[in-house]
Structure 1
């Protein structure tokens, strides 16, 4: 019996052979799909923070005090450095124009009310105008859309693709479509506000009521402004973004936003055509054909047109916020339309309910979903000593039919920073998590800017809390700023440990995007080694990955204190699949080019002497 121990965390070993591959076939339910030739890597940047050179970091500071990044900060040099890190896509977070506290009336933008804005810089998920971009991000706010167009061009010229956010579930409480194309009516402009619900209303209403500001702390930390009066005119009140039906939302509700109506009645029943049986195995073209002659709710059309507008500008895909709060039939309608314009569009959704994963992938035509409540949560439990790593195998087995669609990450704008005391504790302790997250499946890997240099999110930004880099405030990101080096983007101010960490990420990510085995098969070797291998300590986890041309053995030691030495067993069924004859095979480290070991195959079974130090990773080549 294995006794559970408190784990203290660290190392990874990967054995591989050389070569490239063409394509692998993966099963998705009853449908066979062709998986892309290489692993994708998404680099998420909080656009407002990325280029900010100001290190003042005053809580609740203004742009003048704390600074702000611009589109123009993504220079050719910056983009090339991101590309060279091993990145395929940049997700520019916070691009659509959202509510914020700054006077832009000179360019025709109304001021937002601090009583319904979170922080000073505002939430990127309270979008105010979907056909324009955040004026904070432009050198010349009047020409902000042209500056973003130029960033699209620079991104593509660097050999990268880009994503932006679309948030169909909710919009800013004070939405004003000042940039609507000709013929586009604003959200709510045609609503009958005397009804709580009608199919083609864009919002849900609370008839005969007036919106009341929730009992929150004083906006802007008590700073007195003309609009900070604990009042906001909204008659009748609308449902709040998270579904609250109260005219006075709770302070923990998404009170800065209003819920969008997709034809779901207040009782939860659907007021729109549903997909017939069998559409879970049909193509996006067939989904598109299904919707062509159907009458759908007004909100469906509005958001489809928004997505097509940005697709037409050259945006290569979208990250959809809280996608599971919107019916998957809508996603079928919109995503099939996007794919008809750009078959290669990268469509990533925030979905947290495992029971709905397959609906959003197969019926909603999503390419990728967050693998948060399975792999991410398990890795966090492991590094914090709440779980043995063995359960990672069960997760992979349970999601075998959809694993390619489950994007892996350890850090993003919503979560605690990997290097924070509240998560791994240090960036070095996060290394084995990164190896597993990157190599355990064919899914894309995502890195949040600053993660690769150990950013811990410890600043007191104001509205935002420590351990997460604030998305609500004007703030600098210290470790990232040291890499940015006043716009040189050469890491010139990084400490030696930070340079070594970024080098680790660069080596790992570039390996991942060139590895054919990481787009191939998975089989754990955890069970046999846990049961019969002396020295196989509780923090160790092992599995294999392979393709026709490349064979990997991945061994991870999540302990950051204990080194381990043991003879790792490679079962005969794997040796047979790999067509290895009895003999000795030299394996050479590919991450750091310094270490060698021997894979001994005797009577059809493999053994490798492994010596694993805390928080260290190796990639060995056969």
Structure 2
């Protein structure tokens, strides 16, 4: 464990609930392709009322990630409110991408009932969240900003990104942007916005595009609506680093993060953090923790080879576990994965720091589990959700509506019909609206199937929050003693088993055996063998019989195993014999 650990929360077992803020409270059901805010509606800060927050707390949530809070480029015209209009040629979707930041010191006017008082409405949401026992996370988008970036709400004495840049230089350590000298930016020819632009978009010299495209002509598949920020790395000269003096962009981003930390924000989910040098994070995170030592930083990161660097030198608290556990579980949910990949995840990627890997099955970037592009059935995710929540002591995240089986089926706008909930356009999410029930947030319109799914998720989170072995215990992988034909009918490509346990002998549930059958069609009459070393680690005398019982949390709501022993006493030298239904998860208490 690293020294900075003292600044982390008392437990790493956070339960983060991601809210796409503009969609959460929207009750309109028009859902017109490329519909305007008037036609399709938009959720507001005020819609996330006390009842909504209380229900999330009751559901088992500890942290709420409000996505899309900071003002970003949009095709919606707020010029009457003194907000400059954006050119539709460099905006994705009617509502716009929340990751094309237009003013880092302001909030999205879409989310306010009274646009003039939008910041006060956000501050009230933060206070309301805290009052209801929830911590608040917002996005930090450090790598890029909208092409229209201009802050009209920045505090006195703060200068805008690019305000003092020397635009005659392609790169300068103290420039905020990278420039394509003597060239004009060219909007991709395929861009055909649903709102007719009043003028052409002009940018000369062209600035480098957010996804590291150093060309005046980015493609339609590039992040053409964004500009790359310069942290002192000269990408066109072998990525040479110029950190001799603190680069100007570092200072400006520190001021931005400080601004939000002082507003009571409890954490930042840092977008594409690995596209920003780890040296910056290692400098800025301690600076922000001077404002609030308990504040957390989560890195969206996809390169396992850099995990250690961003954790131990960059000083991040938590990292996305997308390339590891998410990808392994997704393959299993789709019916073609290998359960042994879960072992490889913790061995090769996060064995040393599994407590700091954020596990999830959905977020705004990924396809919905229930969509035809993924599992087509939200119940196929239940074993994977248990593994995400209870594999190790680290945090777990849900995306709003995951627990009621959101299933996108039509094109909403810019992103088309792709199995995701739109992040670019105004929309209503029917399944979630059933739970919101006219802002009563009581699930009054949920179908029987949706109620069943949500109840399962609630039981999983309750188990995650209350069980000592899951929150604090050790982990022991049982694949190596059961796979490769060592245990009869144990198909290690589809079955995954492991132990979680603590040294607390007084706790009835201090030793847990998890058995997941990821086979979507086949049940197994098999067994799970626990080796001598594992018994000893659990402080159980291997010369005496041991009893066990099924955790009723899963027996009631989900597929769970049938115990084939005639007695509840077993020898530590024999396998626990089970019948595992298809697509099931079982937890046994070992007493």
TM-score with structure 1 length normalisation?
A: 0.88
Distance 1:349 1:104, change over 3 A: same
Cα distance in 1, alignment partners of residues 202 and 4 from structure 2: 53
Separation of aligned partners in 1, 2:328 and 2:554: 28
Aligned counterpart, 2:373: 422
Q: Post-superposition, which runs of at least 4 consecutive aligned residues in structure 1 deviate over 6 A?
A: 29-35
**1:480 and 2:432 matched:** yes
Counterpart in the other structure of 1:517: 469
**Equivalent of 2:335 in 385, 399, 414:** 385
Aligned positions of 1:424-573 closer than 5 A: 424-465=375-416, 466-518=418-470, 519-530=472-483, 531-537=485-491, 538-549=493-504, 550-573=510-533
Determine the structure 2 residue equivalent to 1:5.
Answer: none
Moved more, 189-198 or 570-579: 570-579
Q: Distance in 2 between matches of 1:298 and 1:175?
A: 17
Aligned partner (choices 225, 229, 241) of residue 270 of structure 1: 241
Q: How far apart, CA to CA, are the structure 1 residues paired with 2:442 and 2:5? A: 46
Cα deviation, residue 92, structure 1? 0.3
Q: Does 1:226 align with 2:179?
A: no
Per-residue deviation, 1:535: 2.4
For structure 2, the residue ranges without an aligned partner over 5 or more in a row are: 505-509
| 1:256 is aligned to 2:256 | no
CA distance in 2, matches of 1:489, 1:593: 27
SS at match of 2:431: helix
Measured on the aligned residues, the alpha-carbon RMSD in Å equals 2.0
Secondary structure (helix, strand or coil) at the match of 2:233 reads coil
- Between the two structures, name the one with larger relative contact order (CA 8 Å, sep ≥ 6): 1
* Distance in structure 1 (CA, Å) of the matches to 2:568 and 2:387: 21
Matches within 5 A, 1:148-159: 148-159=122-133
Q: How many residues align?
A: 569
Is the Cα contact below 8 Å between 1:28 and 1:401 reproduced in 2? no
* Further displaced range: 424-433 or 33-42: 33-42
Give the distance between the partners of 1:599 and 1:36, measured in 2 at CA: 37
Q: 1:351 pairs with 301, 323, 346, which one?
A: 301
Do 1:599 and 1:606's aligned partners in 2 also have CA atoms closer than 8 Å?
no
Contact 2:355–2:394 (CA under 8 A) maintained in structure 1: yes
Deviation at 1:247, TM superposition (A): 1.2
The one-character-per-residue Cα deviations of 1:280-333 (angstroms, maximum 9, x if unpaired) are xxxxxxxxxxxxxxx301100000010000000000010000111110111111
* TM-score, with structure 2 as normaliser: 0.93
2:507 is aligned to none
- The answer as to 2:583 corresponding to 1:605 is no
1:574-613 to 2 correspondence within 5 Å?
Answer: 574-581=534-541, 582-592=544-554, 594=556, 597=563, 600-602=569-571, 604-605=572-573, 607-613=575-581
Deviations 1:501-536, CA, capped at 9 Å, x for gaps = 111111101211222212221111112222322222
What SS does the aligned partner of 2:517 have? strand
Following TM superposition, by how much is the alpha carbon of 1:31 offset from its aligned partner in structure 2, in angstroms? 9.6
CA drift of 1:225 comes to: 4.4
Take 1:67 and 1:590, find their aligned partners in 2: how far apart are those partners?
43
3-state SS of 2:254 partner: helix
What are the residue-to-residue correspondences of 1:374-413 with 2, within 5 Å? 374-398=324-348, 399-413=350-364
- Superposition pairs for residues 155-166 of structure 1, below 5 Å? 155-166=129-140
Please tell me whether residue 316 in structure 1 is matched to residue 266 in structure 2: yes
Q: 1:48 aligned to 2:22?
A: yes
What residue is the counterpart of 1:281 in the other structure? none
CA offsets, 1:413-450, max 9 Å, x none? 00111222222221011111111111111110000001
Distance across 2 between alignment mates of 1:364 and 1:123: 27
Q: 1:35 to 1:601 in 2, by over 3 A?
A: farther
Q: Which residue of 2 aligns with 1:18?
A: none
Contact 1:37 1:516 in 2 (8 A): no
